[in-house]
Each structure stands twice: as structure tokens, then as C-alpha cells.
Amino acid sequence: MVGDTSDPGQAPRRDSSGHRSVAQEDDVRIEAWAASREHCLAEAVVAMVECFADVSGVRPTAVDRIRLEETSDDDLLAALLDEILYRLEAYGEVPVDVEADEAEGGLDVRLAVAALTDVRVTGEVPVDVGWEDLRLAPGPYGWSCAVTVDG
């Protein structure tokens, strides 16, 4: 599983990956970083899940695969998080482990999932991905993203 190696007082290192989130009035701001775009996207999913659920120690009951077509980086981030929220609402599935890999013409994502009823809910479940200030981009230390999810 992608791990939370965040230290809000320290800039990410070239070889590090992690995420952090900041609760705001009615939403949560998520930031994630990693050496590759795919790992950064996986970190963003983990960060979003951690906003509302504790999945530590939870064993997955199924593995789902998602194929997202190549679009802009920002659109890819929004599409992935929207898909996670859709699966949560429609099927009651929560990712407990995430892997993303570049594929020809898109992104392949593997989600090890558990039922929402099998995890400890710790906060309000997000319902929407905000487009304002959404970004996924390369930088001097790898890739980083930021997005706001509405509760």
C-alpha cells in the first residue's frame, strides 16, 4: 500500500512519496507527491480515503481494475478520484490498497477493496471532486498534485 510519509514542515525529497490533507470548513484539501505520475495518483487516492476511513489492518475482499483513457493530467486526477467516489456510492467499496501503472493510451489502476461496512469510518465521506485549484504536474522532485474534495 502507498504509505503516508508526510511531514507538513518539510518539503518532499526526490525519492519520497506521501500525502497529507487539511480539513477546511466543508471540504478537505489533499496534497500528494511521488517520483512518478502514477504513484502520485495512487497517493492521492489513499489521501482521499484517509479523510473519511481508517483502513489500516483491513483485508481486501476483492480486486477491481480501472482503465482510464489518457487525457490531461488534471483531468486524469479528477477522473480517478471521481471513479473512487462513484464506486463508494454505488457499491460501498473502499480502496485499501492502490496501484497505478501507465498503459498505452491511458492509466491502469488496481484497487484492492473492502466493504465500507468493514472499515472504521472516521469522517464525512466526500461526495465531489472540486475543479478549483486542482492540479497534477511534474516538478523538480517528481510529481505532485493537489485537489479539494467536498464533503
**Which residue, 119, 79, 78, is CA-closest to 95?**
119
* Average pLDDT of the residues in 56-67: 96
Q: Are 92 and 118 in contact (CB under 8 A)?
A: no
Q: What percent of the chain shows pLDDT beyond 70?
A: 90
The residue with cell 481508517 is: 54
CA separation for the pair 38, 67 (Å, rounded): 13
62-69/128-139 β-pairing:
unpaired
How many whole angstroms separate alpha carbon 124 and alpha carbon 79?
21
**In the predicted model, is pLDDT for residue 77 greater than 60?**
yes
Q: How many helices (H) and strands (E) does the chain have?
A: 2, 9
Cα angle 147-122-116, degrees, rounded to a multiple of 5: 90
Mean pLDDT, residues 23-39 taken together? 93
| CA–CA gap between residue 74 and residue 41 (Å, rounded) | 10
> If you average pLDDT over residues 46-67, what whole number do you get?
96
Q: Please, which pLDDT band fits residue 16 given cuts at 50, 70 and 90? A: confident
The DSSP annotation for 83-118 comes to HHHHHHHHH-EEEEEEEEEEETTEEEEEEEEEEGGG
Range from 10-14, 37-41, 42-46, 96-100 carrying the lowest mean pLDDT: 10-14
Of 96, 88, 150, which Cα lies nearest the Cα of 124?
150
Per-residue confidence (pLDDT) for residue 14, from 0 to 100:
52
